[in-house]
Structure 1
Amino acid sequence: MLLMLAEPGMPLDRAVSFRRSVAGAESNVAQGLARLGHWTRWIGRVGDDPAGEAVLRELRADGVDVSGVEMDPQAPTGLLLRDSHPQRAIDVQYYRSGSAASLLSPDQIRVEALEGARVVHVSGITPMLSESAARATRALIERARQVGAAVSFDPNVRRKIGTDHEWIRVVGPLLREADLVIAGEDELELLLGGGFEESAKALLTLGHARTVVVKRRDHSAVAVGRQGQCTRAPFSVPVVDPVGAGDAFAAGWLSAWLREAGPEQALAEAACVASLVVQAPADTDGLPTAAARDRTLAALLRGTDSVHR
């Protein structure tokens, strides 16, 4: 979507100046991984309009392959309006009913677009956009299996999109199809009906999951695998804008997983990338390069000089 971000500190209904940016769960992760040095492709739909051009231009600028994107000449690019405040509740307004993205269909999910991929990441937002988008998500998972790619899934529950029952019905079953699950503690409670330990165990024993990463309410994170679990406390940093932290965390975790780092290192990198994003406005401004991540992580863990001289 195109993101219109209100001037810092101003409530949405009083803001007169807005900054244009781009937002979207999967595209945020794609940008995060691209900046960290990984080849990424984003598959989606935007309108054949100025907003769609702006979205694709920003993704290309970060090195994201957009060859799998369709531009719709009739349906518009989705729009997101929000304000930004580190303490006050943030007001987020979505305008995507009838958008190009909501018309995603299984026909767009082509096997050749997934060939060579090691991991395919999708969020619960996409199947909640429409019935055709839900079918496209199921097709994506099936075709990822065909090419041997791992499936990464983040529920990313947004209650403005649907009721709790709709989330449970549409997104709950998809959790069981994922190889890597990255979810909030409250999301697992909603979708699976149990505590995070019980939910993680169920996904590991009854589903496809190899690892379940749980973002806890106290902002710590737990990685649960078949060999045990490990925990990472959050890094204490000043927060400018908390939106986008979850997608940044997912990008940081997947980057470490792709490099075959262990779960403790992966949690540390994920927390580091998230901590950088919340210190900058918008969803993607703070996403680091691999070098910036490593410098920051060294400073956070070992107290090395945080100034890059």
Structure 2
Amino acid sequence: MDKHLDVVTFGEPMAMFCANETGPLDEVTAFSKALAGAESNVATGLSRLEHRVGYVTKLGEDSFGSFIMKALNKEGIDTSRITFTGQRRTGMLVKSKVESGDPQVEYFRKGSAASTLSPEELDKAYFASAGHLHVTGISAALSPECQKFSEHAMAFMRAQGKTVSLDPNLRPSLWPDRQTMVDTINSLAARCDWFLPGLAEGKILTGLDTPEEIASYYFKLGVSLVVIKLGPEGAYYRSADGSEGIVKGFKVEKVIDTVGAGDGFATGVVSALLEKLPTQEAVRRGNAIGALAVMSRGDMDGLPTREELARFMNR
């Protein structure tokens, strides 16, 4: 399968335990297990839209690692470059159930198998077999080795003439301090073609206030497309061809779970750009999948097939 991949990504997939009842995590007694992780969300979303996707990571030789491998394979994702280690455990998290707003999330991932991914393990032939690389800022936060792997992979793909997208996915709790997070993400942004921050993330990363100012900041770093998520209002984009604008969001009946919305958005934008759709259409698809994501409970439950996406966008 890895002869011709449309997209390759890497990161840390985790076993997620979602509370079956609302309330504080320490009082919940029943949980359901699912796959979680920003990169695996995007890989799943792209695969459901019929793109050939490869995922690179390291897993522990434990039941969580085995569960994750089966879940990725079930989604049709190429897992031929996933390795297992007996030295480290697979990461996991627990997530509360809420009626509205953001759920409580607790991670158990420090020193995990995925955090030991190092630049020496970059399979150049495998990465070169893909037309595009999708990266999130979470991977670089896991360890110095993972940061180097991220930098190495992005530089390699750019040198091969491939496109690279970056979703900053800011997780302050994973970084030693805010300044390190800002400096590292901005150095990664200088290595990407398509940058996909949320407005709040853009403000943190640049100290600027408006989408237009934030986009200008990243254009100076060499990015060719900046798409900034504006929540329910939609998204702002600015492209190297001079086009820019705001694409309105889709009506959401009821927000059930906000986790995974940004990954759904990235799935929509990246898939459409790979299909050579106009930027405005790509952003519209991102808005649609982001809306579907917040209307479903699990991180991946809202990620649509082509038919489901068309039905939602045309209704």
CA contact (8 A) 2:128 2:160 kept: yes
* 1:181-219 deviation line (CA, Å, top 9, x unaligned): 011111122122223312211222x22311100012554
* 1:51-89 deviation line (CA, Å, top 9, x unaligned): 011111111111110112111111000011111224244
* 1:100-144 deviation line (CA, Å, top 9, x unaligned): 111110012121111232210010010011111111111111221
Structure 2 equivalent of residue 232 of structure 1: 247
Q: Please give the secondary structure, in 2, of the residue aligned with 1:209.
A: coil
Q: What is the CA-CA distance between 1:228 and the residue it aligns to?
A: 2.2
1:154 aligned onto 2:142: no
Give the partner amino acid of 1:121. Answer: H
Structure 2 equivalent of residue 278 of structure 1: 294
Whole-angstrom CA distance in 2 between matches of 1:219 and 1:75: 43
Structure 1 equivalent of residue 237 of structure 2: 223
TM-score (norm 2): 0.91
Out of 138, 145, 148, the residue aligned to residue 151 of structure 2 is 138
TM-score (norm 1): 0.93
Give the partner amino acid of 2:88. Answer: A
Whole-angstrom CA distance in 1 between matches of 2:24 and 2:283: 34
Whole-angstrom CA distance in 1 between matches of 2:279 and 2:245: 7
Structure 1 equivalent of residue 194 of structure 2: 180
Out of 76, 82, 94, the residue aligned to residue 63 of structure 1 is 76
Aligned 1:81-120 pairs, distance under 5 A: 81-120=94-133
Q: Identify which range, 38-47 or 193-202, moves more after superposition.
A: 193-202
CA contact (8 A) 1:183 1:213 kept: yes
- Unaligned stretches of 5+ in structure 1? 300-309
Q: Please give the secondary structure, in 1, of the residue aligned with 2:88.
A: coil
* 1:203-249 deviation line (CA, Å, top 9, x unaligned): 22x22311100012554211111312121222222111111000011
Structure 2 equivalent of residue 255 of structure 1: 271
Whole-angstrom CA distance in 2 between matches of 1:294 and 1:86: 28
Whole-angstrom CA distance in 2 between matches of 1:89 and 1:161: 18
CA contact (8 A) 1:59 1:66 kept: yes
Q: Please give the secondary structure, in 1, of the residue aligned with 2:25.
A: coil
Q: 4+ residue runs of structure 1 moved beyond 4 angstroms? A: none
Q: Please give the secondary structure, in 1, of the residue aligned with 2:196.
A: strand
Whole-angstrom CA distance in 2 between matches of 1:131 and 1:111: 20
Structure 1 equivalent of residue 228 of structure 2: 214
CA contact (8 A) 1:164 1:190 kept: no
Q: Which has the higher strand share?
A: 2
Q: Please give the secondary structure, in 1, of the residue aligned with 2:103.
A: coil
Whole-angstrom CA distance in 1 between matches of 2:115 and 2:151: 15
Whole-angstrom CA distance in 2 between matches of 1:36 and 1:18: 29
* 1:125-182 deviation line (CA, Å, top 9, x unaligned): 1001111111111111122123321110010001211221120122221112110001
CA contact (8 A) 2:116 2:146 kept: yes
Give the partner amino acid of 2:200. Answer: D
Q: Please give the secondary structure, in 1, of the residue aligned with 2:55.
A: coil
Structure 2 equivalent of residue 266 of structure 1: 282
CA contact (8 A) 2:193 2:225 kept: yes
Whole-angstrom CA distance in 2 between matches of 1:131 and 1:116: 26
Give the partner amino acid of 1:280. Answer: S
Give the partner amino acid of 1:150. Answer: T
CA contact (8 A) 1:116 1:147 kept: no
CA contact (8 A) 1:114 1:147 kept: no
Q: Please give the secondary structure, in 2, of the residue aligned with 1:41.
A: strand
Q: Please give the secondary structure, in 2, of the residue aligned with 1:160.
A: helix
Structure 2 equivalent of residue 287 of structure 1: 303
- Unaligned stretches of 5+ in structure 2? 1-13
Give the partner amino acid of 1:283. Answer: D
Q: What is the CA-CA distance between 1:9 and the residue it aligns to?
A: 2.6
CA contact (8 A) 1:152 1:181 kept: yes
Q: What is the CA-CA distance between 1:277 and the residue it aligns to?
A: 1.6
